[in-house]
A and B are shown apart, each in its own frame.
Chain A
Amino acid sequence: MSEAEFGKTQLKQLEQYKDRWSSLGAQTGLIGTSDQLSVEQLREFEIFQDYDDKILEKIRQDVSVATWQEGAVLFEEGTYVDLAFFVVEGEVEVFLQGVAGVAAPGAGARPIFDSSRTVVSLPAPSKPAGEEKPTAARGTDIAAATAVPKTERSRPSGTITFLATMDFDLPRGVATRLGPGEFFGEIGALSGWPQSVTARTATPCRLLQIRTPALRVLKRKSSALTERLDKLYRQRSLSAQLKNTPLFSTCSDIFLEALKEVVDLVSCEGGEVIVEEGDAADAFYLVRSGFVKLLQRFGEGELVVSYLSKGMTLGESELLIDGLDSWQVTAVSVENAELVRLPKEMFGQLVRNQPEIEAQLWRSAADRIREAGYSRRNIAYSEFTQVALDQGLVQGNSILAIDLNSCTRCDDCVKACADTHEGRPRFVREGNKYENLLIAKSCYQCRDPVCLVGCPTGAIHRSGAGDEVLIDEEICIGCATCYRNCPYDAIVMHETGIAWPEDAVPTGLRGKDQKLASKCDLCADTGHGPACVSNCPQGCAYRVGTLEEFEKLLVRRV
């Protein structure tokens, strides 16, 4: 292919296409990935037949056809994948590891799969003294482990993510087979959650692989595809997901099966208004993924009074309190968000039939009213909530905040980090500044770490039920996918000065300089807490996980 045959734009597109799919080369069992498909070739597939040329042209860089040999592991339980798969030919087997599963063939001495990565972390319920801490659980233990006390409010833990993905609601030990025309992996791809199952080719397969941006476009442009994906989601996952939310954790399976048939699934793009203050309150919402900010009219403008994250609910105040018939807030999605919508009548039935849920909802409503009142009395709090949403601070489990009122700029925090990590510091003392706080460019240890999405080797992973997102340097191939995904510039690519050997897989790496991704790991495996904090002479470096903790550190100028 020369420049004479292709225009510059086409060559650039081709380059981008190769770049986007090159990381798949690390997967063992992949026979080949197609060249970039033309619009006509795409249209040959059933799922693309309803779309016009413009849309197909837009998505074709994010779609490929891959041929896999039998037994190839497409993804593993607990890993993050930014692809949805559509079976063109052959059969794929999905199962939970442990019984039917085997370690991924060819994954090397250290399997990609790490049992700690699928741990479902739970909210820390307020429990009586002496009661045992709930333990993290996997697979079939999830339901037992999520039986949180009835006093638990419907707000997720401040420290850890509570909701596991449920692409397939499978019992451990049971495998299911998917044949031509079937979709899988789409929930993980759209929500950014880890895969709940392992997918392996049962026969030689041809799979259509659709990256998340294309999947979003396709879903947005076709109500048929939206319905199809929603139907799959209802069939495979919804009741298990509802069961895993604190609000519905005490409900019976029969009740949840009935509930899943009456709820609507709502997908929002960033900035989309979900409900508007003053409109009739006609439904109850549960956030499945993403963030939603709540605004109230204040003078001529609007004030951010609170925000909702995964597992939180909206509408309880309006639907429970007599006389509140209209929305008291405007809800706007901050980024792509997925919600479950329960119509008002159904909500009434739910509350009547499940008194423990009603009690939780009353507590949640009281919290919401208190927060709204606090925000209206403290404009600065509202302003900070907005900043926190804009800068992603709500995502972080452990954000490095430096109090500049005490910081003498000695850089001991950075030096300590370098000393702990073989001379390579994992952060720089730079970043966004808000009042007296500097939010350093250090990993936030996000609740939903998008950096994990698309890592071809699974080198970047969350450590068990902890906060830390870690990079396994032994299996990192330096593809920089995580570096590009991180919205906060918290991952750094290091040159190692070593070239990849001539037998390296993927082949595209051969002879090139090896790079290594590195990021803050909270000094995991060092036997001490974050060195940046313990080595700050002024005690002004903090690890912060909630907005309340930020509030305590902020010194506002009047």
Chain B
Amino acid sequence: MGTFSRRKAGFERRHWLFAIAVLACVGVWFANVVLDEVRPGSDWAIGYGAAALALLAVAAAYGLRRRAMKVASRRGGSSSAWLAVHVYGGGLFLILVLMHSGFRLPSGWVTWWLWILSWWVVLGGLGGLFLQRWIPRLLTSGLGVEAHYDRIPELVAGVRERADKLAAQCSPAVQEFYLRSVAPELQEPRRRALYYLDVTGGIQARLRDFTHLVQFLSHEEAESLRDLSRLLRTKLELDAHYTLQLPLRWWLYLHLPASLLLVVFVALHLVSVFLY
């Protein structure tokens, strides 16, 4: 079996394993409910809590793997497999937490925090997963340019410089058009919500003025104007990257601190259980 087939088979296997694990959990919990075994402090509830703790540790280990790539490359397994464990383990963690609490709302402030943070972390993670599936496809669907997020301001500055030089060699009419309609757009990278709906940012509408003007120009001038329109298109595509790559980076700030806080509260919970 080739690498590509193996990858696909691995992906399908992970889905099946997760589905079986969820069904097993729900089945066990349902049996406990029928037998009236799940009560706070019961052996089953403690067992669910311990399983949730183990899954939290496994899910958190993914973060450590990302920070120790040199070691992980040698004997850590692939990062994508770790991510799958992180995602599916995180999902199961929430189910086990709910089973641990008997699907009841928490009573104390620590458990309230635990409950809220568990939901926040898992839903935030799923939100991130959705973004990671949606935005790359959006970026590939209509853009010709590929750019590093951190380099976008520099790239825009380069585009502006080239456009300024090009416009300076054109006739006053083109220069005026450039200063009025194009130059303000090239000043800096801009984020627009529109890109989430239309990744091209309505570029055709923006280029209509160029199409109109070009018919009044000489061959050379028309060529320069076409170059300017290409530069504007590039800039707008860079804007699309600037807008769309942002949530790919920022959602982690919603996920990570909450995850760390969750670990702290789990530790507090454990201490309180053992002490009291």
| Cβ-based interface call for B80 (8 A) | yes
Q: Judging by beta carbons under 8 Å apart, are B248 and A526 in contact?
A: no
Q: How far is the CA of A538 from the CA of B83 in the complex (A)?
A: 8
Across the interface, do B146 and A433 meet the contact criterion of CB distance under 8 Å? yes
Q: Is A420 an interface residue (CB 8 A)?
A: yes
Bitwise, B114-128 to A at CB < 8 A (1) or not (0) is 000000000000000
Contact (A539, B78) CB under 8 Å given A407-B136, A433-B146, A531-B73: yes
Interface of B: prevailing SS:
helix
Among A404-420, those with CB < 8 Å from B are 404-412, 415-416, 419-420
Of A223-231, A304-312, A476-484, A549-557, the stretch lying at the interface with chain B is: A549-557
Q: Pick the contact of A526 from B7, B73, B77, B135 — CB < 8 Å? A: B73
The reply on A436 being an interface residue by CB < 8 A is yes
In the complex formed, the residue of A with least CB distance to B144 is A433
What's the Cα separation between A412 and B63 when bound, in Å? 12
Q: Chain A contacts of B70 at CB under 8 A?
A: 416, 419-420, 531
Q: How far is the CB of B145 from chain A (nearest CB, A)?
A: 8
Q: Decide if B66 touches A412 in the complex (CB within 8 Å).
A: yes
Q: Determine the residue in chain A with the shortest Cβ distance to B128.
A: A408
Q: How far is the CB of A270 from chain B (nearest CB, A)?
A: 27
Q: B residues 106-148 with Cβ under 8 Å of A?
A: 132-133, 135-137, 139-141, 144, 146, 148
Which residue on chain B has the smallest CB distance to residue A555?
Answer: B140
Chain A residues whose CB sits within 8 angstroms of the CB of B69 once the complex forms? 412, 415-416, 419-420, 531, 535
Contacts across chains A and B counted by CB atoms under 8 Å: 83
A405 surroundings in chain B (CB, below 8 A): 136-137, 140
Closest to B83 in A: A537
Candidates B7, B82, B133; contact of A537 at CB < 8 Å: B82
* B264 within 8 Å of A (CB atoms): no
Cβ-based interface call for A135 (8 A): no
Q: Does the CB pair A408–B248 fall under 8 Å?
A: yes
In the complex, whether A216 has a CB less than 8 A from a CB of chain B is: no
Most B CB atoms within 10 A — which of A407, A411, A537?
A537
Q: Within residues 471 to 498 of chain A, which ones have a CB less than 8 A from any CB in chain B? A: none
In the complex where A404-B146, A407-B136, A412-B66 touch, is A523 in contact with B80 (Cβ < 8 A)? Answer: no
CB–CB B73/A539 < 8 A = no
State how many angstroms separate the Cβ of A220 from the closest Cβ of chain B.
Answer: 36
| Choice from A406, A433, A535, A549 contacting B4 with Cβ under 8 Å | A549
What residues on A are CB-neighbors of B248 within 8 Å? 408-410
A430: interface (CB < 8 Å): yes
A206 CA to B161 CA, complexed, in Å: 54
- Contacting pair B74 A406 (CB below 8 A): no
Residues of A within 8 Å of B135, CB to CB, are 408
Closest residue of B by beta carbon distance from A404:
B140
In the assembly, what is the distance between CA of A552 and CA of B6, in Å? 13
Interface string of A525-558 (1 = CB under 8 A from B): 0111001011111110010000001001100010
Q: Bound state CA distance, A412 and B82, in angstroms?
A: 14
- State the majority secondary structure of interface residues on A: loop
Q: What class of interface size applies to chain B in its complex with A?
A: 20 to 34
Bound: A531/B136 CA distance, A: 22
Q: How far is the CA of A539 from the CA of B82 in the complex (A)?
A: 11
- Partner of A557 from the list B7, B75, B141 (CB cut-off 8 Å) is B141
Nearest chain B CB to A531 CB, angstrom units: 4
- The answer to whether B73 and A409 have CB atoms under 8 Å apart is no
Interface string of B205-247 (1 = CB under 8 A from A): 0000000000000000000000000000000000000000100
Report how far A429 CA is from B146 CA in the complex, Å: 9
A419-B69, A420-B70 as given contacts; A412 in contact with B79, CB under 8 Å: yes
Please measure, in the bound complex, the distance between the C-alpha atom of A419 and the C-alpha atom of B65, giving whole angstroms: 13
Q: Mark B57-98, 1 if CB is under 8 A from A, else 0.
A: 000000000100110111101111011000000000000000
In B1-49, the 8 Å CB interface with A consists of: 3-4, 7
Nearest-neighbour CB distance to chain A for B202, whole angstroms, equals 19
Taking CB atoms, residues of chain B closer than 8 Å to A552 are 4
- CB pair B140 A534 closer than 8 Å: no
A438 within 8 A of B: yes
Chain A, range 433-491, C-beta contacts under 8 Å to B: 433, 436, 438
Q: Point out the residues of chain B lying under 8 angstroms from A410, CB to CB.
A: 248
B215 to chain A, nearest CB (A): 28
Q: Which residue from A406, A537, A542, A557 sits with its C-beta under 8 Å from B136? A: A406
Closest CB-CB distance, A267 to chain B, in whole Å? 38
Select from chain B the residue with minimum beta-carbon distance to A437: B140
Contact flag A523-B73 (CB < 8 Å), given A438-B146, A537-B82: yes
Best-surrounded residue of B70, B73, B148, B248 (most CB of chain A within 10 A): B73
CB distance from B35 to the nearest CB of A (A): 41
Chain A residues with Cβ below 8 Å from B136 are 404-409
Q: Which residue of A lies closest to B131 (CB)?
A: A408
Query: Among the listed A408, A436, A542, which residue makes an inter-chain contact with B132, where contact means beta carbons less than 8 Å apart?
Result: A408
Q: Which residues of A contact B (CB under 8 A)?
A: 404-412, 415-416, 419-420, 429-430, 433, 436, 438, 523, 526-528, 531, 533-539, 542, 549, 552-553, 557
Can you pick out 15 interface pairs between chain A and chain B where the beta carbons lie within 8 Å of each other?
A404-B146, A405-B140, A409-B248, A411-B148, A412-B69, A412-B79, A430-B146, A433-B146, A526-B73, A528-B75, A531-B73, A535-B72, A535-B73, A537-B66, A537-B83
Given contacts A408-B135, A537-B83, A539-B7, 20 further A-B contacts (CB under 8 A): A404-B136, A405-B140, A407-B136, A409-B245, A419-B69, A420-B69, A420-B73, A429-B148, A433-B144, A523-B73, A531-B73, A533-B78, A534-B77, A534-B79, A535-B79, A537-B66, A538-B83, A538-B132, A539-B79, A552-B4
- Would you list the 8 A-B pairs with minimal beta carbon distance, nearest first? A539-B80, A419-B70, A416-B69, A531-B73, A537-B83, A419-B69, A404-B140, A537-B79
